[in-house]
Copies of this chain bind each other. A is one copy, B any other.
Amino acid sequence: MIIIAKTSQDAEKIAAQLDTKNPIKPVFVHNNRVALAGVKKLPEDALKSISQYIVETITNHHSAIKSSRDFHPENTIITTKYSVIGGANFVFMAGPDSIESPEHVKEMGEDVKQAGATILRGGAFKPRTSPYSFQGNGEEGLKAHRAAADALKMDMVTEILDTRDVDLVDSYTDIFQVGTRNMQNFALLKALGKKNKPVVLKRGMSATIDDLLNAAEYIAAGGNDQIILMERGIRTYDNKYTRNTLDVSAIPVLQSLTHYPVVADASHAAGVSKFVEPLALAAIAAGAQGLMTEIHDDPSHAFVDGAQALTPAQFKQLTEKANKVREAIK
Protein backbone atom coordinates (compact mmCIF):
# COMPACT_ATOMS: atom_id res chain seq x y z
CA MET A 1 0.00 0.00 0.00
CA ILE A 2 1.20 3.47 -0.79
CA ILE A 3 0.00 6.43 1.24
CA ILE A 4 0.21 9.95 -0.14
CA ALA A 5 0.55 12.93 2.17
CA LYS A 6 0.72 16.62 1.38
CA THR A 7 3.95 17.44 3.21
CA SER A 8 6.90 15.78 4.91
CA GLN A 9 5.54 16.89 8.22
CA ASP A 10 2.24 15.20 7.52
CA ALA A 11 4.07 12.10 6.37
CA GLU A 12 5.98 12.02 9.61
CA LYS A 13 2.80 12.25 11.59
CA ILE A 14 1.40 9.30 9.68
CA ALA A 15 4.61 7.32 10.06
CA ALA A 16 4.60 7.90 13.80
CA GLN A 17 1.33 6.00 14.03
CA LEU A 18 2.42 3.08 11.92
CA ASP A 19 4.40 -0.07 12.55
CA THR A 20 7.93 1.17 13.11
CA LYS A 21 9.80 -2.01 12.27
CA ASN A 22 9.86 -1.04 8.65
CA PRO A 23 11.07 2.52 9.03
CA ILE A 24 8.79 4.46 6.72
CA LYS A 25 10.79 6.51 4.27
CA PRO A 26 9.02 9.52 2.79
CA VAL A 27 9.53 9.80 -0.97
CA PHE A 28 8.80 13.05 -2.82
CA VAL A 29 6.57 12.58 -5.82
CA HIS A 30 5.18 15.02 -8.35
CA ASN A 31 3.04 17.96 -7.27
CA ASN A 32 5.31 18.10 -4.21
CA ARG A 33 3.43 15.38 -2.49
CA VAL A 34 5.04 12.79 -0.26
CA ALA A 35 4.58 9.05 -0.60
CA LEU A 36 5.01 6.50 2.15
CA ALA A 37 6.01 3.11 0.78
CA GLY A 38 5.76 -0.32 2.26
CA VAL A 39 2.83 0.17 4.58
CA LYS A 40 1.15 -3.19 4.91
CA LYS A 41 -2.10 -2.08 6.44
CA LEU A 42 -3.55 0.94 8.15
CA PRO A 43 -4.16 0.27 11.84
CA GLU A 44 -7.87 0.56 12.63
CA ASP A 45 -7.28 2.27 15.94
CA ALA A 46 -4.91 4.91 14.60
CA LEU A 47 -6.89 5.60 11.49
CA LYS A 48 -8.92 8.35 13.01
CA SER A 49 -5.95 10.35 14.19
CA ILE A 50 -4.06 10.12 10.90
CA SER A 51 -6.78 10.21 8.28
CA GLN A 52 -6.58 13.99 8.10
CA TYR A 53 -2.97 13.73 6.90
CA ILE A 54 -3.70 11.17 4.19
CA VAL A 55 -4.35 12.58 0.72
CA GLU A 56 -4.73 9.22 -0.98
CA THR A 57 -4.08 5.51 -0.43
CA ILE A 58 -3.14 3.38 -3.40
CA THR A 59 -3.38 -0.40 -3.24
CA ASN A 60 -2.15 -3.00 -5.71
CA HIS A 61 0.75 -0.82 -6.76
CA HIS A 62 4.28 -2.18 -7.00
CA SER A 63 6.48 -0.53 -4.39
CA ALA A 64 8.81 1.28 -6.79
CA ILE A 65 7.59 4.83 -6.23
CA LYS A 66 10.29 7.01 -7.76
CA SER A 67 10.40 4.68 -10.76
CA SER A 68 6.65 4.76 -11.31
CA ARG A 69 5.08 6.65 -14.16
CA ASP A 70 2.08 7.18 -11.89
CA PHE A 71 4.13 9.56 -9.78
CA HIS A 72 6.39 10.85 -12.55
CA PRO A 73 4.43 11.00 -15.81
CA GLU A 74 7.09 12.63 -18.04
CA ASN A 75 9.73 10.47 -19.69
CA THR A 76 13.18 10.59 -18.16
CA ILE A 77 15.66 11.83 -20.76
CA ILE A 78 19.31 11.10 -20.07
CA THR A 79 21.91 13.28 -21.74
CA THR A 80 25.52 12.20 -21.95
CA LYS A 81 28.36 13.85 -23.85
CA TYR A 82 27.48 12.19 -27.16
CA SER A 83 24.04 10.66 -26.66
CA VAL A 84 20.48 11.49 -25.72
CA ILE A 85 18.60 8.52 -24.30
CA GLY A 86 14.87 8.25 -23.65
CA GLY A 87 11.66 9.75 -24.97
CA ALA A 88 11.52 9.75 -28.76
CA ASN A 89 15.30 9.40 -29.05
CA PHE A 90 17.06 6.19 -30.04
CA VAL A 91 20.56 5.05 -29.19
CA PHE A 92 22.85 2.34 -30.50
CA MET A 93 25.32 0.92 -27.98
CA ALA A 94 27.76 -1.49 -29.55
CA GLY A 95 31.23 -2.92 -29.23
CA PRO A 96 33.06 -6.10 -28.35
CA ASP A 97 31.91 -8.32 -25.49
CA SER A 98 35.23 -7.98 -23.70
CA ILE A 99 38.08 -5.51 -24.15
CA GLU A 100 40.72 -7.66 -25.80
CA SER A 101 43.37 -5.02 -26.58
CA PRO A 102 43.63 -1.22 -27.02
CA GLU A 103 43.86 -1.65 -30.78
CA HIS A 104 40.95 -4.05 -31.02
CA VAL A 105 38.47 -1.98 -29.04
CA LYS A 106 39.39 1.08 -31.08
CA GLU A 107 38.92 -0.71 -34.38
CA MET A 108 35.58 -2.10 -33.27
CA GLY A 109 34.64 1.36 -32.04
CA GLU A 110 35.39 2.89 -35.42
CA ASP A 111 33.17 0.36 -37.13
CA VAL A 112 30.21 0.81 -34.83
CA LYS A 113 30.50 4.58 -34.78
CA GLN A 114 30.46 4.63 -38.55
CA ALA A 115 27.25 2.58 -38.43
CA GLY A 116 25.59 5.02 -36.07
CA ALA A 117 26.47 3.94 -32.53
CA THR A 118 27.26 6.70 -30.06
CA ILE A 119 28.02 4.52 -27.05
CA LEU A 120 30.93 2.08 -27.06
CA ARG A 121 30.34 -1.03 -24.98
CA GLY A 122 33.00 -3.43 -23.70
CA GLY A 123 33.70 -5.52 -20.62
CA ALA A 124 36.78 -5.26 -18.42
CA PHE A 125 35.27 -7.28 -15.57
CA LYS A 126 33.44 -10.32 -16.94
CA PRO A 127 30.92 -12.33 -14.87
CA ARG A 128 31.63 -15.80 -16.21
CA THR A 129 29.68 -18.91 -15.21
CA SER A 130 32.92 -20.81 -14.59
CA PRO A 131 35.86 -19.53 -12.54
CA TYR A 132 38.17 -21.07 -15.15
CA SER A 133 36.87 -18.87 -17.97
CA PHE A 134 38.51 -15.58 -18.93
CA GLN A 135 37.54 -13.01 -16.28
CA GLY A 136 38.37 -9.82 -18.18
CA ASN A 137 41.43 -7.57 -18.36
CA GLY A 138 40.48 -5.40 -15.37
CA GLU A 139 41.85 -1.86 -15.10
CA GLU A 140 43.98 -2.36 -18.19
CA GLY A 141 40.77 -3.01 -20.09
CA LEU A 142 39.11 0.07 -18.62
CA LYS A 143 42.06 2.22 -19.78
CA ALA A 144 41.96 0.88 -23.32
CA HIS A 145 38.19 1.31 -23.45
CA ARG A 146 38.42 4.92 -22.21
CA ALA A 147 41.14 5.75 -24.70
CA ALA A 148 39.12 4.35 -27.58
CA ALA A 149 35.96 6.19 -26.53
CA ASP A 150 37.87 9.48 -26.22
CA ALA A 151 39.60 9.08 -29.55
CA LEU A 152 36.30 8.33 -31.26
CA LYS A 153 34.19 10.87 -29.38
CA MET A 154 31.85 8.21 -28.07
CA ASP A 155 30.38 7.50 -24.64
CA MET A 156 31.72 4.50 -22.76
CA VAL A 157 29.59 1.89 -20.98
CA THR A 158 31.07 -0.98 -18.99
CA GLU A 159 29.94 -3.52 -16.43
CA ILE A 160 30.61 -3.22 -12.72
CA LEU A 161 30.67 -6.39 -10.60
CA ASP A 162 31.93 -5.42 -7.17
CA THR A 163 31.09 -2.62 -4.74
CA ARG A 164 34.82 -2.25 -4.11
CA ASP A 165 35.34 -1.31 -7.77
CA VAL A 166 32.72 1.43 -7.96
CA ASP A 167 35.19 4.32 -7.62
CA LEU A 168 37.69 2.71 -9.95
CA VAL A 169 35.14 2.12 -12.68
CA ASP A 170 33.63 5.54 -12.02
CA SER A 171 36.99 7.14 -12.79
CA TYR A 172 36.90 5.69 -16.31
CA THR A 173 33.36 5.16 -17.55
CA ASP A 174 30.54 7.43 -18.66
CA ILE A 175 27.80 4.91 -17.98
CA PHE A 176 27.73 2.01 -15.52
CA GLN A 177 26.24 -1.31 -16.51
CA VAL A 178 24.77 -3.76 -14.00
CA GLY A 179 24.54 -7.26 -15.46
CA THR A 180 21.75 -9.78 -15.29
CA ARG A 181 23.41 -11.76 -12.46
CA ASN A 182 23.72 -8.66 -10.28
CA MET A 183 20.28 -7.16 -10.80
CA GLN A 184 19.47 -7.96 -7.19
CA ASN A 185 22.96 -7.26 -5.80
CA PHE A 186 21.43 -4.59 -3.63
CA ALA A 187 24.73 -3.46 -2.12
CA LEU A 188 25.94 -2.64 -5.62
CA LEU A 189 22.70 -0.88 -6.54
CA LYS A 190 22.89 1.24 -3.39
CA ALA A 191 26.47 2.21 -4.18
CA LEU A 192 25.46 3.27 -7.69
CA GLY A 193 22.56 5.22 -6.25
CA LYS A 194 25.11 7.58 -4.75
CA LYS A 195 26.80 8.32 -8.07
CA ASN A 196 25.62 11.04 -10.40
CA LYS A 197 26.08 8.97 -13.54
CA PRO A 198 23.76 6.92 -15.78
CA VAL A 199 23.28 3.23 -15.01
CA VAL A 200 22.18 0.59 -17.51
CA LEU A 201 20.31 -1.98 -15.41
CA LYS A 202 19.89 -5.33 -17.12
CA ARG A 203 16.90 -7.42 -16.21
CA GLY A 204 17.79 -10.47 -14.17
CA MET A 205 17.38 -13.63 -16.19
CA SER A 206 14.39 -14.68 -14.14
CA ALA A 207 13.36 -11.31 -12.76
CA THR A 208 9.73 -10.30 -12.91
CA ILE A 209 8.79 -6.86 -14.14
CA ASP A 210 8.19 -5.82 -10.54
CA ASP A 211 11.57 -7.18 -9.47
CA LEU A 212 13.22 -5.01 -12.12
CA LEU A 213 11.29 -1.91 -11.07
CA ASN A 214 12.25 -2.49 -7.44
CA ALA A 215 15.90 -2.97 -8.41
CA ALA A 216 15.78 0.36 -10.26
CA GLU A 217 14.19 1.87 -7.18
CA TYR A 218 17.25 0.89 -5.11
CA ILE A 219 19.32 3.14 -7.39
CA ALA A 220 16.70 5.89 -7.47
CA ALA A 221 16.19 5.83 -3.70
CA GLY A 222 19.86 6.73 -3.32
CA GLY A 223 19.37 9.83 -5.42
CA ASN A 224 20.42 8.69 -8.89
CA ASP A 225 17.56 8.74 -11.36
CA GLN A 226 19.63 8.34 -14.53
CA ILE A 227 18.50 4.77 -15.09
CA ILE A 228 18.21 2.85 -18.35
CA LEU A 229 16.36 -0.49 -18.16
CA MET A 230 17.47 -3.28 -20.44
CA GLU A 231 15.57 -6.38 -21.53
CA ARG A 232 18.08 -9.07 -22.46
CA GLY A 233 16.19 -12.34 -22.57
CA ILE A 234 14.77 -14.45 -19.79
CA ARG A 235 15.23 -18.05 -18.79
CA THR A 236 12.43 -20.33 -19.94
CA TYR A 237 11.97 -24.07 -20.41
CA ASP A 238 13.47 -24.15 -23.91
CA ASN A 239 17.01 -23.07 -24.67
CA LYS A 240 17.95 -25.54 -27.36
CA TYR A 241 18.06 -23.06 -30.24
CA THR A 242 18.50 -19.71 -28.47
CA ARG A 243 20.37 -18.89 -25.28
CA ASN A 244 17.47 -17.09 -23.67
CA THR A 245 13.95 -16.00 -24.61
CA LEU A 246 13.76 -12.31 -25.53
CA ASP A 247 10.69 -11.01 -23.73
CA VAL A 248 9.61 -8.25 -26.13
CA SER A 249 6.44 -7.66 -24.15
CA ALA A 250 8.59 -6.35 -21.30
CA ILE A 251 9.36 -3.31 -23.44
CA PRO A 252 5.86 -1.80 -23.78
CA VAL A 253 4.91 -3.08 -20.33
CA LEU A 254 7.85 -1.30 -18.70
CA GLN A 255 7.22 1.84 -20.72
CA SER A 256 3.67 1.92 -19.41
CA LEU A 257 4.82 1.48 -15.80
CA THR A 258 7.95 3.59 -15.62
CA HIS A 259 9.41 6.77 -17.09
CA TYR A 260 12.91 5.42 -17.63
CA PRO A 261 14.18 4.58 -21.12
CA VAL A 262 13.86 0.90 -22.04
CA VAL A 263 16.44 -0.65 -24.36
CA ALA A 264 17.18 -4.18 -25.52
CA ASP A 265 20.15 -6.51 -25.85
CA ALA A 266 19.39 -9.02 -28.59
CA SER A 267 22.87 -10.54 -28.55
CA HIS A 268 22.59 -12.33 -25.21
CA ALA A 269 18.98 -13.22 -25.89
CA ALA A 270 19.81 -14.91 -29.18
CA GLY A 271 23.13 -16.45 -28.25
CA VAL A 272 23.76 -17.17 -31.92
CA SER A 273 24.52 -14.43 -34.41
CA LYS A 274 22.01 -15.47 -37.06
CA PHE A 275 19.09 -14.70 -34.76
CA VAL A 276 20.40 -11.35 -33.47
CA GLU A 277 18.98 -9.27 -36.32
CA PRO A 278 15.38 -10.56 -36.21
CA LEU A 279 15.30 -10.25 -32.42
CA ALA A 280 16.80 -6.76 -32.47
CA LEU A 281 14.26 -5.63 -35.05
CA ALA A 282 11.47 -7.19 -33.02
CA ALA A 283 12.58 -5.25 -29.95
CA ILE A 284 12.53 -2.02 -31.92
CA ALA A 285 9.12 -2.77 -33.39
CA ALA A 286 7.92 -3.31 -29.82
CA GLY A 287 9.15 0.16 -28.97
CA ALA A 288 12.67 -0.23 -27.59
CA GLN A 289 14.45 3.12 -27.21
CA GLY A 290 17.87 1.70 -27.85
CA LEU A 291 19.83 -1.38 -28.74
CA MET A 292 22.96 -2.92 -27.28
CA THR A 293 24.80 -5.22 -29.66
CA GLU A 294 28.02 -7.19 -29.45
CA ILE A 295 30.27 -7.12 -32.46
CA HIS A 296 33.56 -8.75 -33.38
CA ASP A 297 35.60 -8.75 -36.55
CA ASP A 298 36.61 -12.37 -36.01
CA PRO A 299 33.82 -13.98 -33.96
CA SER A 300 35.31 -17.46 -33.88
CA HIS A 301 38.34 -16.09 -32.06
CA ALA A 302 36.56 -13.71 -29.69
CA PHE A 303 37.66 -14.04 -26.06
CA VAL A 304 34.04 -14.26 -24.87
CA ASP A 305 30.69 -15.14 -26.48
CA GLY A 306 31.90 -15.11 -30.07
CA ALA A 307 28.93 -17.17 -31.21
CA GLN A 308 26.55 -14.30 -30.70
CA ALA A 309 28.72 -11.48 -32.07
CA LEU A 310 27.77 -9.72 -35.29
CA THR A 311 30.49 -8.73 -37.70
CA PRO A 312 30.81 -4.99 -38.35
CA ALA A 313 29.14 -5.48 -41.73
CA GLN A 314 26.22 -7.34 -40.18
CA PHE A 315 25.88 -4.61 -37.58
CA LYS A 316 25.79 -1.94 -40.27
CA GLN A 317 22.98 -3.78 -42.03
CA LEU A 318 21.13 -4.12 -38.74
CA THR A 319 21.30 -0.39 -37.99
CA GLU A 320 19.93 0.41 -41.44
CA LYS A 321 16.96 -1.90 -41.01
CA ALA A 322 16.53 -0.72 -37.44
CA ASN A 323 16.16 2.87 -38.56
CA LYS A 324 13.57 1.83 -41.14
CA VAL A 325 11.57 -0.10 -38.54
CA ARG A 326 11.64 2.93 -36.26
CA GLU A 327 10.11 4.97 -39.06
CA ALA A 328 7.53 2.29 -39.78
CA ILE A 329 6.04 2.26 -36.31
CA LYS A 330 5.76 6.02 -35.86
Residues of A within 8 A of B (CB): 21-25, 27, 37-38, 63-65, 100, 127-134, 161-165, 181-182, 184-187, 190, 205-206, 208-211, 214, 217-218, 221, 234-242, 245-249, 251-253, 256-257, 269-270, 274-275, 278-279, 281-287, 301, 303, 321, 324-325, 327-329
Contact = CB atoms under 8 A, between A and B. Distances in A.
23 contacts: A21-B303, A22-B132, A24-B132, A37-B130, A38-B133, A63-B130, A131-B190, A163-B187, A165-B187, A181-B185, A210-B240, A236-B236, A236-B237, A241-B249, A245-B247, A252-B275, A253-B275, A281-B286, A281-B328, A284-B285, A321-B329, A324-B327, A324-B328
A238 B235 CA distance: 10
A132 to B, nearest CB: 4
A250 to B, nearest CB: 9
Contact of A164 (B164, B238, B241, B246): B164
A292 to B, nearest CB: 17
B275 A249 contact: yes
A208 to B, nearest CB: 4
A162 B182 CA distance: 12
Number of chain copies forming the complex: 4
Nearest to A242: B249
A131 B214 contact: yes
Contacts of A208: 237-238, 240
A166 to B, nearest CB: 10
A330 B21 CA distance: 39
Chain B CB within 10 Å, residue with most, of A162, A270, A287: A162
A249 B256 contact: no
B285 A278 contact: yes
A232 to B, nearest CB: 13
A128 B247 CA distance: 25
B241 A209 contact: yes
A251 B278 contact: yes
A281 B285 contact: yes
B163 A162 contact: yes
A306 to B, nearest CB: 10
Nearest to A35: B132
A278 B249 CA distance: 8
B238 A209 contact: yes
Contact of A269 (B164, B187, B241, B249): B249
A38 B234 contact: no
B206 A235 contact: yes
A161 B134 contact: no
Contacts of A221: 131-132
B38 A130 contact: yes
